[in-house]
């Protein structure tokens, strides 16, 4: 087996090198969905984001956002023809994004329809009748075939709300099923972005039926709190402020799982932005999420220019400015970073909080991660690296490193040699030296897309950690029942790990 594996990998890598055209994506097997807010091209100065700024190797799926609905014809349409299309000397955005697949064949590129500004009522009316749904499905099929997208992402915000009707809940499922039936012969992908608040999920979605027809469900696990609360709160808290607080990432995950959604179809949404607040009483010394009073307006960032909203690139640039007066803080319960300058407070996700949420997604067995949106990451690499990204990983490592059960588990895991990784790799990884587990953390460095890179590195790390912990659990169970696996499983594991290690070496991605 190993000989065949070596030949196949050498041939594959040599072909890729000689071709000089195709490039790869994330090293792990989880989905990483990157929404691209195409209007970011109109932002000023360093905040301007063009499609040429995309780093496709960081994503498995790119979602062009947004197309809209022409209610007069019940058909999908471009919302910005000059940016999207080629005619009349347009910027050909559709073609440019789809063409990335030529060099990055791992990519899937889909088109999103809807979004907050599109509203809900016209989608409600379109979905209410079989004949208008049929026109919509036909228009989508023509659209995907014309522009060569791999599928459609539904961003109806939200069924039954914002002018919708109670019938939207069933009509939405009917529309999704009809799209799926039309897509299947062509292999098109069908996904949907769903609001993650309990009240929205209760009324808008028949989750079990949607899970049956959708390829992936993009969980919008953000915007739980903002200026509309009149109190300071986390944009995307891992946990709520109490057991009765349903507005949290963990609650949303558990809710979807308990309502019949397959975990491998669930894609956890991560925000590349924060929410900001102006304190009602600037003299307040300590901030308490859910209690500290704030005004119902925030302030705008220099690039995104939206009150109460601020991109991570805007936040980290401000923190890199040595003359700024912002002070850094961390809320442990919600696993959220925040900064403060007098009456101004910004609550946001940094690399540390992103890594924690990635670990959460892996622990629950979810299909992957999604980001809204890639254009507000620090895509220019302007900001200083943050040193505490993997603090929680290190704490868990310290808790198990001297456990006798781990020593027994290491015999079955066949992890890489820590000395080789230490000498040759910049990658964060688990490895073994002198029969002891090591967690090597790569040195923080200036780099573009720090949040996206954290997602991919933390995914690999979390999968490795889960493998170790699962093996420890298996050792405990085997000891309890007096059972030990035969050698065939170990030999097979050695062969597979050898192939993976060789592939990493040959493609220069591990060493």
Are 113 and 76 contacting, i.e. CB atoms less than 8 angstroms apart?
A: yes
- Of these residues, 71, 138, 157, 167, which one is catalytic? 157
Indicate if 102 belongs to the active site: no
Preceding amide of 66 cis, omega within 30:
yes
User: Residue 71 in contact with residue 128, Cβ under 8 Å?
Assistant: no
Token reading at 251:
């609650």
How far is Cα 151 from Cα 337, in angstroms, rounded to an integer? Answer: 35
Burial 333-367 (b: 16+ CB within 10 A, else e): ebbbbbbbeebbbbbbbbbbbbbbbbbbbbeeebb
Q: How far apart are CA 281 and CA 211, in angstroms?
A: 46
419-458: b or e for each residue (b if 16 or more CB lie within 10 Å)?
eebeeebebbbbbbbeeebbbbbeeeeeebbbbbbbbbbb
Taking phi over 0 as left and psi of -120 to 50 as alpha, with beta for the rest, 75 belongs to beta
Rounded to whole angstroms, the Cα distance separating 138 from 151 reads: 14
Peptide bond into 368 cis (omega under 30): no
3-state secondary structure 464-497: HHHHHHHHHHHHHHHHHHCCCCCHHHHHHHHHHH
Q: Which residue has the tokens 């720090």?
A: 450
Task: Give the 3-state secondary structure of residue 32.
Answer: strand
**Structure token pair of residue 279:** 């304190």
Instruction: Please enumerate in sequence order all residues whose Cβ is within 8 A of that of 117, keeping only pairs 6 or more positions apart, or say none.
Output: none
172: Cβ contacts below 8 Å, ≥ 6 apart = 127, 156, 159, 204, 205, 206, 210
Residue found under tokens 């807010």: 37
Are residues 200 and 158 in contact, defined by beta-carbon separation less than 8 angstroms?
yes
Residue with tokens 């640039």: 317
Euclidean distance between CA atoms 193 and 197, whole angstroms: 12
Cα–Cα dist 377/263, whole Å: 27
Phi-psi region of 92 (alpha: psi -120 to 50; beta: other; left: phi over 0): left
Which residues have a Cβ under 8 Å from the Cβ of 243 and sit 6 or more positions away? Answer: none
Tell me the DSSP string of 239-253.
S-SSTT---SHHHHH
Residues taking part in catalysis: 157
């Amino acid at each position: 087996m190993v000989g065949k594996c070596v030949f196949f990998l050498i041939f594959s890598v040599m072909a890729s090198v000689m071709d000089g055209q195709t490039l790869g994506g994330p090293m792990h097997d989880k989905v990483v969905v990157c929404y691209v807010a195409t209007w970011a091209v109109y932002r000023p100065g360093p905040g301007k984001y063009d499609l040429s700024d995309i780093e496709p190797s960081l994503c498995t799926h790119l979602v062009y956002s947004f197309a809209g609905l022409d209610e007069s014809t019940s058909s999908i349409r471009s919302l910005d023809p000059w940016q999207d299309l080629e005619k009349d000397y347009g910027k050909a955005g559709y073609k440019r994004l789809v063409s990335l697949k030529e060099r990055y064949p791992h990519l899937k590129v889909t088109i999103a329809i809807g979004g907050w500004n599109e509203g809900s009522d016209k989608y409600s009316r379109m979905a209410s009748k079989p004949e208008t749904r049929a026109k919509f499905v036909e228009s989508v099929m023509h659209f995907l075939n014309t522009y060569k997208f791999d599928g459609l992402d539904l961003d109806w915000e939200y069924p039954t709300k914002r002018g919708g009707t109670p019938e939207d809940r069933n009509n939405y499922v009917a529309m999704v099923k009809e799209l799926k039936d039309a897509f299947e012969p062509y292999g098109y992908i069908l996904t949907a972005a769903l609001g993650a608040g309990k009240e929205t999920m209760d009324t808008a979605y028949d989750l079990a039926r949607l899970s049956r027809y959708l390829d992936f469900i993009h969980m919008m696990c953000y915007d739980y709190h903002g200026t509309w609360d009149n109190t300071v709160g986390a944009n995307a808290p891992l946990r709520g402020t109490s057991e009765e607080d349903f507005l949290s990432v963990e609650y949303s995950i558990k809710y979807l799982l308990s309502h019949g959604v397959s975990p491998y179809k669930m894609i956890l949404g991560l925000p590349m932005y924060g929410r900001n607040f102006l304190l009602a009483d600037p003299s307040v010394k300590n901030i308490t999420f859910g209690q500290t009073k704030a005004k119902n307006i925030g302030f705008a960032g220099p690039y995104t220019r939206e009150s109460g909203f601020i991109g991570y690139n805007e936040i980290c640039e401000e923190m890199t400015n040595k003359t700024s007066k912002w002070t850094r803080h961390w809320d442990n319960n919600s696993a959220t970073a925040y900064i403060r300058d007098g009456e101004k407070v910004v609550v946001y996700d940094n690399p540390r909080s992103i890594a924690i949420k990635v670990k959460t997604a892996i622990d629950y067995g979810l299909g992957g991660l999604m980001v809204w949106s890639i254009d507000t990451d620090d895509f220019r690499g302007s900001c200083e690296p943050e040193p505490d990204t993997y603090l929680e990983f290190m704490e868990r490592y310290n808790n198990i490193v001297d456990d006798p059960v781990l020593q027994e588990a290491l015999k079955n895991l066949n992890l890489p040699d820590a000395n080789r990784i230490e000498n040759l790799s910049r990658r964060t990884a688990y490895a073994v030296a002198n029969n002891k587990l090591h967690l090597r953390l790569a040195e923080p460095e200036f780099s573009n897309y720090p949040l996206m890179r954290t997602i991919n590195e933390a995914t690999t790390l979390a999968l490795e950690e889960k493998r170790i912990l699962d093996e420890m659990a298996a050792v405990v169970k085997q000891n309890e029942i007096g059972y030990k696996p035969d050698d065939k499983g170990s030999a097979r594991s050695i062969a597979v790990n050898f192939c993976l290690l060789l592939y990493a070496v040959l493609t220069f991605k591990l060493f």
